[in-house]
């Protein structure tokens, strides 16, 4: 069979999983070798998918850090960055606020400082953990959601002041990080419900999404806690 015919057959089998296929064909009198150099899935090459920055965001208490820590424990090639540590490193964090006991982060300043540095791809898949991480120059966003009633109970167990607990539960009720979706434009985004799912199940779903080139799961229907709580 001619080399050209083999190439046509291989190419015809790949349209659903590839947008581009670079093939180098080396042939001699009776043998040839075909090397598939790059397969691009949903706009991302397989190499690029191993070198991307993924935000893990959501209302405080939704399980961001648990998912991020679990992820890096499962794959040695995964790396983890925390927004608060980045803010400290780049001088974008203030003193502790006496009202909510938190240190304010100048996320716009941090995003600007990281802009040039993050133009280059990381050495491996890097998760950026923090409820402001979706405002940084990342490649994709994972939003964790949690039933506001469960979220309230979780944060009370943390010993937070009541005003802070209610503020976060209200933010989640009204959409959480989705309220700032205008900030990230057309970045690929995955919403996960952490109310009852185990961290392992969340990790598997997130991992499949990343490996699939951030392909949307289906029509984007955001979780509506107002409707859920009034059922």
9 versus 72: which is more confidently predicted?
Answer: 72
Residue 75 predicted with pLDDT over 70: yes
Q: For residue 26, what pLDDT is reported?
A: 34
As a whole number of angstroms, the distance between CA 231 and CA 229 comes to 6
The mean-pLDDT minimum among 15-24, 93-102, 139-148 falls in: 15-24
Q: For residue 32, what pLDDT is reported?
A: 31
The band of 31, judged by pLDDT with boundaries at 50, 70 and 90, is very low
Tell the CATH topology of 46-229.
Rossmann fold (3.40.50)
Distances (CA, A) of 83 to 24, 57, 195: 43, 10, 23
Enclosing H/E stretch for 207: helix 199-211
Q: What is the mean pLDDT of the chain?
A: 82
127 versus 96: which is more confidently predicted?
Answer: 127
Quote the pTM value: 0.78
Q: Summarize pLDDT for 159-173 with one digit per residue, the tens.
A: 999 999 999 999 999
Residue 112 predicted with pLDDT over 80: yes
CA neighbor of 6 nearest in space, from 20, 23, 19 = 23
DSSP secondary-structure letter at 36?
Answer: E
Q: In the chain, what are the domain boundaries? A: 3-41, 46-229
Residue 93 predicted with pLDDT over 70: yes
Residue 28 predicted with pLDDT over 50: no
Residue 126 predicted with pLDDT over 50: yes
Q: For residue 137, what pLDDT is reported?
A: 97
Query: Could you tell me if 191 and 143 are in contact, meaning their C-beta atoms sit under 8 angstroms apart?
Result: yes
Distances (CA, A) of 132 to 30, 69, 108: 59, 17, 10
Query: Could you tell me if 222 and 172 are in contact, meaning their C-beta atoms sit under 8 angstroms apart?
Result: no
């Amino acid at each position: 069979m001619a080399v050209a015919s083999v190439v046509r057959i291989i190419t015809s089998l790949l349209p659903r999983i590839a947008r581009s296929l670079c093939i180098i064909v080396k042939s001699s009198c009776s043998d040839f070798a075909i090397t598939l150099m790059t397969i691009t899935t949903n706009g991302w090459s397989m190499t690029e998918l191993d070198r991307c920055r993924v935000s893990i965001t959501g209302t405080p208490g939704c399980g961001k850090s648990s998912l991020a820590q679990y992820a890096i424990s499962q794959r040695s090639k995964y790396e983890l960055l925390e927004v608060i540590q980045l803010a400290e490193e780049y001088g974008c964090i203030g003193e502790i606020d006496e009202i909510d006991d938190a240190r304010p982060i100048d996320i716009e300043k941090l995003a600007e400082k990281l802009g040039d540095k993050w133009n280059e791809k990381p050495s491996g898949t890097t998760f950026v953990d923090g409820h402001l991480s979706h405002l940084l120059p990342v490649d994709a966003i994972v939003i964790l959601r949690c039933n506001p009633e469960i979220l309230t109970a979780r944060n009370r167990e943390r010993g937070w002041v009541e005003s802070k607990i209610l503020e976060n539960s209200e933010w989640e009720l009204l959409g959480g990080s989705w309220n700032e979706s205008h900030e990230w434009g057309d970045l690929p985004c995955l919403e996960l419900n952490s109310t009852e799912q185990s961290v392992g199940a969340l990790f598997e779903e997130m991992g499949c999404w990343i490996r699939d080139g951030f392909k949307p799961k289906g029509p984007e229907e955001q979780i509506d806690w107002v409707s859920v709580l009034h059922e």
